[in-house]
């Protein structure tokens, strides 16, 4: 499967297929003076040797393994990587390869964007969630005061997505990524939504061969949204569908209790209900809830969280207009709209949602 991503600054291919890591050079448009592979200590034992073997024609292949997890997106890890890379005396024709999930993509991409004012960058996503993070051009690291506070817009030369790597991905990471795949379908069109519901009827029914075209479709949705809105003026906000409440749930239940995607799944159900209330329309909420259940995605707000607490958290978060919390709502499947919503409407529906 191949998808061509066009941005005002750069065009690059996304290649999706089984075993791509063994033949990655087939997809590089040129050769580089050096290859710097950045990966984490879960992915390295599984796939690093394969990638190094594929690059063995070059005598300048270096690898750096960082501890797995969000903490790798830190200034300290970034500094260590830059220190080590500077010591190699590489030139601007070098290439950084991100081999891993969204954490590695964001971190390695930021290294690539900043080292020598930017060197070539290749994304080799290994998680389902990185179908999302590997395109769109956002790279960066976290700061004590918040996630992704330091970063850049920097596009890769190519995204090489070896779907075989997804076989070793833990089920919890599958669920997290799946929620974002489904999100892309719901904000895109009834056609893609129905197709996904048919082709991924249950979590256990997922088969990597039928899944690759769906991944491509989900990535195309993100790519189109981003292409129409490179610097996040308007349409890019649609990608936040499910995220206003999702982020609040993620933070208030404590990071790690629910994965990001699981929290977003609950946030999507809420956004659908809120859309029905605000626009006085009927959406297939029951159908989506039933589907989420079969996908092992959570559909209810975790016990112990109160509507007051979640409302306060959403107010504290940044996406506000005129003092109102801003939601991505749906006028229909495939028709997202960014809408400020009054606190009272949110808290009433939250209370109903929490009480079943
Ligand atoms: P991750 O990179 O931490 O990967 C999740 C876990 O899976 C890690 O423990 C990792 O070691 C392990 N893993 C990765 N590939 C594996 C494989 N093939 N087999 C077994 N284990 C594997 O997390 P993620 O969910 O991929 O990404 C989350 C990050 O992405 C966050 O930091 C988030 O901010 C970022 N993100 C960025 C964007 C963007 O546009 N740049 C968009 C969404 C999310
Ligand atoms: Zn998300």
Q: Give residue ranges with CB within 6 A of ligand 1.
A: 40, 42-43, 46, 68-70, 73, 100-104, 106, 126-127, 129-130, 132-133, 136, 138, 147-148, 165, 168-169, 173, 176
Catalytic residue among 247, 250, 252, 262: 247
Cα four-point dihedral sign 97, 99, 101, 103: negative
Q: From the CA of 29, how far away is ligand 2's center (Å)?
A: 31
Which ligand 1 atom is nearest residue 106's CA? 41
Q: Is the pLDDT of residue 108 over 70?
A: yes
Question: Which domains, ranges and CATH numbers included, belong to the chain?
Answer: 2-168 (3.40.50.1970), 171-354 (1.20.1090.10)
For residue 321, name the pLDDT band (cuts at 50, 70, 90): low
pTM for this entry: 0.95
The more confidently predicted of residues 2 and 226 is 2
Q: Return the closest-CA partner of residue 343 out of 293, 308, 303, 292.
A: 308
Over residues 294-312, the mean pLDDT reads 95
Which ligand number lies closest to the CA of residue 239?
A: 2
Q: Are 188 and 235 in contact (CB under 8 A)?
A: no
Which ligand 1 atom is nearest residue 69's CA? 3
Q: From the CA of 101, how far away is ligand 1's center (Å)?
A: 3
Instruction: Give me the residue label for tokens 């029951």.
Output: 286
User: Is the reported ipTM for this assembly greater than 0.90?
Assistant: yes
Structure tokens at 79: 């500094």
- Give yes or no: 240 in active site: yes
Q: Are 295 and 202 in contact (CB under 8 A)?
A: yes
- Measured CA distances, 27 to 13, 20, 78, 106, 124 (Å): 9, 9, 28, 21, 12
The residue contributing the CA closest to ligand 1 atom 1 is 101
Q: Are strands 324-330 and 336-341 parallel, antiparallel or unpaired?
A: antiparallel
**83-104 confidence digits (pLDDT tens):** 999 999 999 999 999 999 999 9
Q: From the CA of 100, how far away is ligand 1's center (Å)?
A: 7
Residues with Cβ within 8 Å of residue 324, at least 6 apart in sequence: 340, 341, 342, 343
Structure tokens at 206: 């997922």
Pocket test for ligand 1, best of 100, 153, 223 (most atoms within 8 A of CB): 100
Q: Is the pLDDT of residue 259 over 90?
A: yes
């Amino acid at each position: 499967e191949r998808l061509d991503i066009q941005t005002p600054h750069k065009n690059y291919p996304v290649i999706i297929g089984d075993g791509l890591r063994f033949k990655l050079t087939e997809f590089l448009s040129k050769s580089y003076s050096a290859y710097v592979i950045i990966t984490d200590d879960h992915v390295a034992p599984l796939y690093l040797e394969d990638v190094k073997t594929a690059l063995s024609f070059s005598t300048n292949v270096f690898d750096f393994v960082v501890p797995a997890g969000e903490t790798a997106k830190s200034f300290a890890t970034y500094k260590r990587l830059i220190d080590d890379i500077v010591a190699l005396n590489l030139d601007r024709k070098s290439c950084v390869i991100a081999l891993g999930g969204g954490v590695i993509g964001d971190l390695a991409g930021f290294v690539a964007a900043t080292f020598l004012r930017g060197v070539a960058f290749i994304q080799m996503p290994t998680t389902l969630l990185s179908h999302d993070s590997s395109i769109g051009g956002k790279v960066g690291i976290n700061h004590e005061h918040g996630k992704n506070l330091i970063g850049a817009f920097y596009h890769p030369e190519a995204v090489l997505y070896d779907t075989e790597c997804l076989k070793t991905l833990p089920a919890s990471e599958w669920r997290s990524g799946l929620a974002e795949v489904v999100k892309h379908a719901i904000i895109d069109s009834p056609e893609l939504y129905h197709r996904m519901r048919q082709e991924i009827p249950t979590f256990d029914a997922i088969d990597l061969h039928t899944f690759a075209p769906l991944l491509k479709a989900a990535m195309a949705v993100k790519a189109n949204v981003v292409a129409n809105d490179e610097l996040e003026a308007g349409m890019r906000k649609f990608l936040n569908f499910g995220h206003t409440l999702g982020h609040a749930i993620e933070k208030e239940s404590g990071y790690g209790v629910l994965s990001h995607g699981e929290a977003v799944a609950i946030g999507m159900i809420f956004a659908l209900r809120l859309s029905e209330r605000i626009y006085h329309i009927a959406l297939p909420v029951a159908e989506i809830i039933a589907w989420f259940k079969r996908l092992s995605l959570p559909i209810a707000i975790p016990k112990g969280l109160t509507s007051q607490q979640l409302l306060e958290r959403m107010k504290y978060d940044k996406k506000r207009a005129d003092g109102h919390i801003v939601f991505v709502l749906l006028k229909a499947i495939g028709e997202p709209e960014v809408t400020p919503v009054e606190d009272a409407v949110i808290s009433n529906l939250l209370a109903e949602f929490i009480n079943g």
